[in-house]
A and B are shown apart, each in its own frame.
Chain A
Amino acid sequence: QQQVKQSPQSLIVQKGGISIINCAYENTAFDYFPWYQQFPGKGPALLIAIRPDVSEKKEGRFTISFNKSAKQFSLHIMDSQPGDSATYFCAASIFGNQFYFGTGTSLTVIP
């Protein structure tokens, strides 16, 4: 059973547009929700993360929106750039001891 469900599987966005990736979870014990970015041939790297006591976190062009009651969180990439083309994974964790990943979203930003 998938602990974290992610959509869409792939996304194509024009340069300058907004990319939105959504995730949903069931386990209310999760206390940390990171997003990872992976370029071809590389391992995933932490992009941005949020804890459930806040509803939004912004770092530059990247924003996480978190809806605790709906058990959903999303990644918004503003002013998307070709260099943002990568695979994005959402995840949920309990005390840093267990990490559950979504199935990934392949983002392509067209110049």
Chain B
Amino acid sequence: DVKVTQSSRYLVKRTGEKVFLECVQDMDHENMFWYRQDPGLGLRLIYFSYDVKMKEKGDIPEGYSVSREKKERFSLILESASTNQTSMYLCASTSPATSGPNTGELFFGEGSRLTVL
């Protein structure tokens, strides 16, 4: 069964703390994404990566950074957490249309709910 695993389902952090959200996929996907989900705003793209060690900014990258040292792992980092970063964070992966058996399907993890106090 294919899987995108987010290591932390629920986190509570204090303002100013550094936060790491880890995501691992077992489908050998090239593309990985971090989204933020807020009520009424849908899913907003924070960062994405097409390959190891590369990253691209999404629509709302401010206050976030990412790391992709291995193909299967994509980490989201909040250098100094703030209360407005309280949200649900979703990791996803897919293969691009130009390689492999591609259905175009984006596979999501279960989400990490972060509360910043």
| Count of residues in A whose CB is under 8 Å from the partner chain | 25
| B residues less than 8 Å from A9 (CB atoms) | 40
B104 contacts A49, C-beta separation under 8 Å: yes
Interface contacts (Cβ under 8 Å), in number, total 68
Minimal beta-carbon separation of A64 from chain B (angstroms): 13
Q: Which of A9-39 contact B (CB under 8 A)?
A: 9, 31-32, 34, 36
Chain B: residues with Cβ within 8 Å of the partner, total of 29
The answer to whether A97 touches B104 (Cβ under 8 A) is no
> Contact: A43 with B95, CB < 8 Å?
no
B108 touches A6 (CB 8 A): no
Nearest A-chain residue to B50, judged by Cβ: A97
Bound-complex Cα distance A23 to B42 (A):
13
Chain A 84-111 near chain B by CB (<8 Å), digits 1 or 0: 0000010101011111011110000000
Residues of A within 8 A of B90 (CB): 43-44
Chain B residues within an 8 Å CB radius of A54: none
CA separation between A55 and B45, bound complex, in Å? Answer: 28
Known contacts A36-B106, A44-B108, A89-B43; 11 further A-B pairs (Cβ under 8 A): A9-B40, A34-B105, A43-B90, A43-B111, A93-B104, A95-B97, A97-B97, A99-B92, A101-B35, A103-B40, A103-B41
Q: Mark B residues whose CB is within 8 Å of A.
A: 4, 31, 33, 35, 40-45, 48, 50, 90, 92, 94-98, 102-111
